[in-house]
């Protein structure tokens, strides 16, 4: 019996001597490394709360159940922008007729160059030039009951003029339920616009307007209206003392 046990024990010892003791670290030495998903928006990454570049969502939003097979909705960029910044309501205004835009025209009148001639029937203002030409602008003129004609000199020029409505105008408009201020400082809201050329000692002026769509019509209480850009152009071309003939 002793002869049988010794060989068996010797074989076991020999086998044990040929095997190197393993450690916990060696146990996984031959396995491939674990690959972490690079998708930082994966749900499991978001649940960590400290993933780089990730802002933790509101708990209520995170815990909302989703349909099992539903894909996350991607909002349309155009619609989203429209919701976040609604467009301002646009008020459509009639476009000015191109015929009333400034242009050089032939002129055969008898007035000398430098004279301003205003045709209240056709709603044109002419600045007479040399060689049978004139620079023509569209204007707004007096509405029915406020037409007038005559010849005056430009007695004053103002940039962004103040407005002091005449007492008769204040009373007239109040009777219609429209109450005018007794004084309004110059600016974009001022009905005299960017420039004013005062005619003689009258209450009439050639001035700009913040309602350019009215050019070409009989719309004023006797003053001559021009687009702001046009009255600025005329303002630079004429001086105090220029003759203005209204027909």
Residues with a catalytic annotation lie at 207, 223
CA 147 to each of CA 82, 155, 246: distance values in angstroms, whole numbers, following the listed order: 49, 21, 10
Q: Which helix (H) or strand (E) holds 15?
A: helix 2-18
- Cα 229 versus chain centre, distance: 20
| Residue 114 neighbours by CB distance under 10 Å | 15
| Cα(180)–Cα(172) distance, integer angstroms | 10
Rg of the Cα trace of the chain? 44
CA 40 to each of CA 37, 48, 50: distance values in angstroms, whole numbers, following the listed order: 8, 11, 11
């Amino acid at each position: 019996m002793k002869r049988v046990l010794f060989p068996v024990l010797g074989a076991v010892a020999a086998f044990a001597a040929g095997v190197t003791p393993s450690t916990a670290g060696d146990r996984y030495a031959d396995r491939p490394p674990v690959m972490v998903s690079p998708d930082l928006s994966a749900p499991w990454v978001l649940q960590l709360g400290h993933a780089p570049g990730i802002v933790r969502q509101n708990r209520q939003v995170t815990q909302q159940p989703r349909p099992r097979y539903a894909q996350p909705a991607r909002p349309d960029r155009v619609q989203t922008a429209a919701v976040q910044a609604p467009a301002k309501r646009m008020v459509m205004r009639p476009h000015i007729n191109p015929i009333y835009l400034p242009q050089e025209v032939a002129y055969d009148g008898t007035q000398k160059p430098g004279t301003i001639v205003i045709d209240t029937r056709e709603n044109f203002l002419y600045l007479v030039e040399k060689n049978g030409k004139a620079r023509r602008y569209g204007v707004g003129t007096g509405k029915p009951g406020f037409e007038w004609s005559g010849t005056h000199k430009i007695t004053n020029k103002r940039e962004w003029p103040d407005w002091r409505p005449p007492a008769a105008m204040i009373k007239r408009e109040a009777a219609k339920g429209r109450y005018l201020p007794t004084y309004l400082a110059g600016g974009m809201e001022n009905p005299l616009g960017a420039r004013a050329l005062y005619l003689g000692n009258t209450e009439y002026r050639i001035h700009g307007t913040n309602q350019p769509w009215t050019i070409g019509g009989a719309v004023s209480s006797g003053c001559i209206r021009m687009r702001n850009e046009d009255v600025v152009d005329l303002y630079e071309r004429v001086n105090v003392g220029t003759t203005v003939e209204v027909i």
